[in-house]
Amino acid sequence: MNIHKNASMTPRGREHLVREIDRIGLKPAAAAAGLSAHTARKWQRRWASQGAPGLLDRSSRPERSPRRSDALKLERAVALRRNQRLTYACIAERVGLSISVVARACKAAAVARLPALQDTVPVRRYERQSAGELLHLDTKKLGRFDKPGHRVTGDRTQNTPRAGWQALHVAIDDHSRVGFSQMLADETAKCACAFLLAALRYYKSLGVNVERVMTDNGSAYKSRRFTKLLRRLGIKHIRTRPYTPRTNGKAERFIQTLLREWAYAFVYPSSEHRARELQPWMYHYNFHRPHSATSHRPPITRLGFEGNNVLRNYI
């Protein structure tokens, strides 16, 4: 049992105390231990009646609680919260308890927060059978800066004023999880098309021919320019349902990894320095970093060769 935070002695010290009482007397032993005679006598009596177990701390819970709330009322209060999602005040009025008692009961039953009770959409996990069947695309805005920002310094008053934005464009293969990314000027259709062509060249150099791409409903991906490019390349375009980013979850998760391990993992002097470190990090991601979806092996191994392939390591 854990020792009470205000206890001045441990069970071993109490045992030494009662033995000293037998040897030199109650008051001298109590004074030597820094205790009152009343407390020393308490431990002496417990030792005499219970032995060593009597020297352990006891629970401070009262033996009787005559005014404790009825268990049936508490169960009904929790059921009303879970099934009808009523407020504490309404529940208290119905079951005849105070609002504070209802709140404690709901918290103990993990039904205090209503959002936790909302029905969630079941996760539908899928993976294409071969590389190139589906390529996920997405973008993320990142701010420009010429000195470390508030994420490092913690001072929001020293940010670079009106520095503007850059766009991180990402692509990730659904089967192999091999990724590709570039920092471009913006999220316009022109940059989206340029990034798509660069991504296709990269995957082709790895022996992967892209058949489909999945994007959200951003203006660049809905533009005529992007649509015409896909039609000319013979690539099918799949769009996610509006306001359903989880459909393109692999790209979303890839962006989170990029932000955590590349964009915000180091102190960069400027956004230009950060951009220069993107490709070295991408090399690490594809060729060396273990991925949980690929049995904790680098994504590149899904394409049929190991990370020590010298030729492809330097593509």
Query: pTM for this one?
Result: 0.64
CATH superfamily placement of domain 135-313: Ribonuclease H-like superfamily/Ribonuclease H (3.30.420.10)
- pLDDT in single tens digits along all 315 residues of the chain: 567 667 778 888 889 999 999 999 999 999 998 899 999 999 999 999 988 888 888 777 777 666 677 888 899 999 999 888 888 999 999 999 999 999 999 999 988 887 766 666 676 777 899 999 999 999 999 988 888 777 777 777 776 676 789 999 999 999 999 999 999 999 999 999 999 999 999 999 999 999 999 999 999 999 999 999 999 999 999 999 888 888 899 999 999 999 999 998 888 999 999 999 999 999 999 999 999 888 899 999 999 866 555 444 444
* DSSP codes joined into one string, the chain: -PPPTT-SS-HHHHHHHHHHHHHH-HHHHHHHHT--HHHHHHHHHHHHHH-GGGGS----S-S--TTPPPHHHHHHHHHHHHHH---HHHHHHHHT--HHHHHHHHHHTT-SSGGGGSPPPPP-----SSTTS-EEEEEEEEE--SS--HHHH--GGGSPTT--EEEEEEEEETTT--EEEEEES-SSHHHHHHHHHHHHHHHHHTT----EEEE-S-HHHHSHHHHHHHHHHT-EEEEPPTT-GGGGHHHHHHHHHHIIIIITTS--SSHHHHHHTHHHHHHHHHHTS-BGGGTTB-GGGGGTS-TT-HHHHT-
What's the pLDDT tens digit per position in 285-303? 999 999 988 889 999 999 9
One-letter amino acid for residue 116 of the chain: A
In the chain, what are the domain boundaries?
A: 11-55, 71-115, 135-313
